[in-house]
């Protein structure tokens, strides 16, 4: 028999840690290779993780709700004798799940030296830092963005495995640091300067609830991550908003006429979303600043158009990305949109399918809302909100007509996008939608 260390898998190039959401197996349970044994959550996506090998789970080392770095051992699996030959001298081998199928090895004579198996490529390489603590790429990126020096970083207490600093630790520290800033200023010109080290403000008194009248439910992992991302976006970007109305009558009439035939022919439904994606992709080419991001003092113009589509889940929201959206026709966009929405609701998205977006679209109209003002999906600089398409009496020429009208809203980062540029982009989207021509 041999024991295998199961490590937290790398769920994407930029992901440095993951949270155990739920163990589907317990210590002592027998498992088969590729059988789902736990669910994890990262900054990007929730995923079901299969067993890397067949055997028995002997130890579960990280309990549900805990966040650990990629490469950290989360469980131990006891394999059969044939697996033991691959570990050499009966020592435990470390594997990260999921792993590709391993080729079967022929049994070796007892006199032959043991075979040494290199560590998986996905295992995290821990590099010693200046203060002998490991900092994940995510923590390093936050420190760089917030101009936190190495010396200051070393003073932050960590709640992660082995005292490591996590993203939550960084956000809590930044919140505290912001709260302390007023305290270090002089109280008044005539008064002596306040000491350089300000006392930590007293914590607010705990709120006592009447347990008979309220129910207290902790935020789940997805809700906490959404909250952190939304707060970070508002703190990062000064949001400005523009709203326009758009006449969707030509598109609505076309869709109503062809939707049944389209579904039979293409095997997927024709919704309004592909029309909005197509118009947005064309407008992004006309206004490339909207398809950019800000890196310190530099504007990074993206020469590709990857559009994220917000999908409402039972307990939150996720934004899968349609890569190279400008290269797809209406049929391709319809298939891509329906596919990622279906897999998002069934937790089947891959990590790279929620990364790399350059612009996002969210549809509040699917719930009947007239329009909404969305929060920018960082590090993007703008997001389009789509309201409900409603039959509305409008002035056409010198008369009144009933038209299919939608309200479109654009939230954009005022650090690099002014009102004129943002408003012109939004109006260009409207122009492309209203000038819709039948597909050839």
Active site residues: 414, 418
What Å distances lie between residue 253 and 23, 106, 371, 389, 403, CA to CA?
Answer: 50, 66, 22, 12, 10
Q: Minimal CA–CA distance to 273: which of 435, 422, 413, 406?
A: 406
Q: How far apart are CA 394 and CA 400, in angstroms?
A: 6
Q: Are 377 and 360 in contact (CB under 8 A)?
A: yes
Tell me which DSSP letter residue 189 carries: T
Q: How far apart are CA 352 and CA 374, in angstroms?
A: 23
Q: Minimal CA–CA distance to 10: which of 44, 37, 33?
A: 44
Cα angle 260, 266, 270 (rounded to 5 degrees) comes to 50
Q: Are 427 and 392 in contact (CB under 8 A)?
A: no
Q: Minimal CA–CA distance to 165: which of 132, 116, 209, 207?
A: 132
Q: Minimal CA–CA distance to 320: which of 349, 354, 343, 351?
A: 354
Task: Write out the DSSP string of 378-397.
Answer: TTBSEEEEE---EEEEEEET
Q: How far apart are CA 274 and CA 331, in angstroms?
A: 8
What Å distances lie between residue 397 and 267, 400, 403, CA to CA?
Answer: 40, 8, 13
């Amino acid at each position: 028999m041999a024991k295998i260390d199961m490590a937290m898998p790398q769920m994407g190039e930029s992901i440095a840690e993951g949270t155990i959401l739920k163990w589907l197996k317990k210590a002592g349970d027998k498992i088969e290779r590729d059988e789902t044994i736990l669910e994890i959550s990262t900054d990007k996506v929730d995923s079901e993780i299969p067993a890397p090998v067949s055997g028995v789970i002997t130890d579960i080392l990280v309990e549900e709700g805990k966040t650990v770095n990629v490469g950290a051992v989360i469980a131990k699996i006891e394999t059969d004798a044939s697996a033991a030959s691959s570990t050499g001298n009966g020592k435990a081998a470390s594997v990260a799940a999921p792993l590709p199928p391993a080729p079967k090895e022929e049994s070796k004579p007892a006199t032959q030296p043991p075979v040494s198996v290199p560590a998986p490529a996905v295992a995290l390489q821990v590099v010693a830092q200046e203060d002998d603590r490991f900092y994940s790429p995510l923590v390093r990126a936050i420190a760089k963005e917030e101009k936190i020096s190495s010396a200051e970083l070393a003073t932050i207490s960590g709640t992660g495995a082995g005292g490591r600093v996590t993203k939550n630790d960084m956000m809590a520290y930044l919140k505290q640091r912001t709260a302390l800033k007023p305290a270090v200023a002089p109280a008044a010109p005539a008064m002596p300067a306040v000491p350089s080290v300000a006392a930590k403000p007293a914590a607010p008194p705990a709120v006592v609830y009447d347990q008979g009248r309220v129910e207290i439910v902790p935020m789940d992992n997805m809700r906490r991550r959404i909250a952190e991302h939304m707060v970070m976006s508002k703190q990062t970007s000064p949001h400005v908003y523009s709203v326009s109305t758009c006449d969707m009558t030509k598109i609505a009439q076309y869709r109503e006429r062809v939707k049944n035939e389209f579904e039979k022919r293409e095997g997927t439904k024709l919704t309004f979303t592909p029309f909005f994606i197509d118009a947005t992709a064309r407008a992004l080419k006309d206004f490339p600043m909207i398809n950019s991001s800000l890196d310190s003092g530099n504007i990074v113009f993206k020469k590709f158009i990857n559009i994220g589509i917000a999908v409402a889940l039972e307990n939150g929201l996720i934004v899968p990305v349609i890569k190279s959206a400008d290269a797809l026709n209406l049929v391709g966009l319809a298939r891509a949109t329906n596919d990622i929405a279906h897999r998002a609701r069934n937790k089947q998205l891959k990590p790279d399918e929620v990364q790399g977006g350059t612009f996002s679209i969210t549809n509040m109209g699917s719930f009947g809302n007239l329009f909404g003002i969305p929060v920018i999906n960082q590090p993007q600089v703008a997001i389009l909100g789509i309201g409900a398409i409603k039959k509305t009496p409008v002035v056409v020429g010198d008369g009144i007509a009933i038209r299919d009208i939608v309200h479109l809203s654009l939230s954009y980062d005022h650090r690099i996008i002014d009102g004129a540029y943002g408003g012109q982009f939004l109006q260009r989207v409207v122009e492309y939608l209203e000038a819709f021509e039948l597909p050839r």
